[in-house]
Amino acid sequence: MRGAQDPNGAPGEPPTPADSPLRLADIRTSGLYRNLGTPTVAVGDTAPAVRLPRLDAHRRVTAEIVDLGDHLGTRPVALIFGSYT
């Protein structure tokens, strides 16, 4: 595990899971990931197209694809991102 307990991690950096190829410092300094924290959609903008696999009751991926664009202008859609682990 890298991070605060790892001499190779940045001081005060949170621990990085053993299966992660990147540390938080790697992400913060990489041009590839730099824009992840910068919103590119403003209030009133049309949201980008989002297509996601549907999950069953046991959270397993099914063959069905949900296209959120199908609901554009017909009903509100909320996307909630987070970790529940």
What confidence tens digit (pLDDT) does each residue in 26-55 have? 888 888 877 777 777 788 887 778 888 988
Tokens read off for 71:
């609901």
The length of the chain, given as a count of residues? 85
Q: What is the pTM of this model?
A: 0.39
Judging by DSSP bridges, how do beta strands 51-55 and 61-67 pair with one another?
Answer: antiparallel
Identify the pLDDT of residue 34.
Answer: 73
